[in-house]
Amino acid sequence: MNKVIFLKRKLLIIFCIFSLICFQSISYADDEIDELEVNDVNNIIEASAKLEEDLKINSRIAVAYDRETGLKIWGKDEDKKTAMASTTKIMTAIVVIENSNLDDVIEVSKKAAWTGGSKLGLKTGDKISVSDLLYGLMLRSGNDSAVALAEHVGGSVEGFAELMNQKAKELNLRCTHFVTPHGLDNPEHYTTAMELAKIADYALNNEIFAKIVKTKSTTVYINGNPKSINNTNELLGNFSGVYGVKTGFTNNAGRCLVTAVKNDKFNIITVVIQADTKKDRTNDSVKLINYIFNNYEKINIEEMVNEDFQNWLNINKSRIHINKAKNNEVSIEKSKQKNINIIFKKSDLTDINIQINAIFEYEAPVANKTKVGEIKIYIGEELLETIDIFFDNQINAKDFNDYINDCIKVITDII
């Protein structure tokens, strides 16, 4: 009987250990190294090009972001808070680049070496440069690299998270919060697709970051020994115009892909989050890129606003009356426009609506730069921008002598 109980307990212990191992591998799983074969990616790209007229993607969260204007082109729950997996490392990399010397050599801690998930393969006591760790972070998606960098720059993972959140605040990201440098699931570690696109946009303006994420493969040196690594981004080198940025995967984030891509007309960032499979994230990214490239065009909205404003001025300038003004001659200008070029879906061009409203009666004196009215630019029912209209000259009130002269003029006209 005791042997039966002993065997049952032994089996239970083995089962618990096995379950724990499986749980750890699932929870800590990140970017898989056995990436999609090139032929598979090419097949997805070819097939997706035929499905672009009516965009439907499987990823639960997505956005296409225009780098020139900083505006959303297309979105699907793009403002919903979500886990972000290893796309976190975009922020990790830029914080490291801005706060460290890339030539510094780091000794890897036990904590960094034992970090779960995808790894560069660091061991406790290994020596490696910040520069090589950044390549290990962004190409190999090494969680061990992330912790080693965080400890070097921030003193600890917690200290580095403070730097990440400080940068998020500087970028005016209101729905983003970081806890770790690698992105393993944590309820307090989140962003949105839109804010993730803004992080990537900011990071890509840094030459060092841009160089790293467009690298397909490279060699890093651990303890002076070379190690070849490849980029986990399956679109890099396979889809024309792609020049970064980052893959990711955890249970809560699903399959993720942030892509920077440009052609002769557009320079955009696409983000897909919570895709069920790697094939889905690839397929959705390609479909989204093709959809934007083939169904949208860039319009110079400034030219349209200038034309409408000039027509309005020609008709309405003489209607503006300033009571008791010494001189009723007025100069009217508009403030500088933020959005010069914007991207529109070709079928939605008729949805551009420019409205101009103004006040026509004033009492002198009127100071220079006094607001007259507003130009409002709508895309459908969405307000894109408001531009102020103002007096571009000082308008003084009449004094006693002016009234005497007016009286004399009236009498002279009667005589």
Same domain, 220 and 341: no
Same domain, 227 and 328: no
Q: Which of 59, 76, 89, 131 is catalytic?
A: 89
Q: Is 214 assigned a catalytic role?
A: no
Provide block-wise average pLDDT over 10 residues at a time, the chain (415 residues): 54 51 43 54 62 79 94 94 97 98 96 92 96 97 96 97 97 97 95 98 98 97 96 93 96 96 95 95 94 90 92 90 80 89 78 89 87 90 90 80 66 68
What is the model's pLDDT at position 18? 47
pTM of the model: 0.80
Q: Does 412 reside within a domain? A: no
pLDDT value at residue 162: 97
What angle is formed at CA 154 by the lines to CA 149 and CA 160, rounded to 5 degrees? 85
**Annotated active-site residue in 48, 59, 141, 145:** 141
Contact between residue 41 and residue 234 where contact means Cβ atoms under 8 Å apart? yes
Query: Of these residues, 48, 59, 86, 100, which one is catalytic?
Result: 86
The CA-atom distances, in angstroms, between 99 and each of 12, 155, 211, 333 are 49, 12, 18, 44
Pairing of strands 296-300, 321-323: unpaired
Q: Find all residues with CB under 8 Å of 309, minimum gap 6, and list them.
A: 334, 356, 375, 389
Torsion of Cα atoms, 39 then 42 then 47 then 51, to 10°: 150
Residue 346 annotated in active site? no
pLDDT value for 189: 97
Residue 67 in domain: yes
Same domain, 204 and 273: yes
CA dihedral 107, 112, 113, 119 (to 10 degrees): -110
Return the pLDDT at 42: 65
What is the predicted pLDDT for the residue at 343?
83
Is residue 16, in this structure, part of any structural domain at all? no
Q: Same domain, yes or no, for 264 and 375?
A: no
Residues 351 and 226 grouped into a single domain: no
141 is catalytic: yes
Residue 212: its pLDDT value, please?
98
Q: Are residues 334 and 263 in the same domain?
A: no
Full domain range(s) for residue 342: 320-400
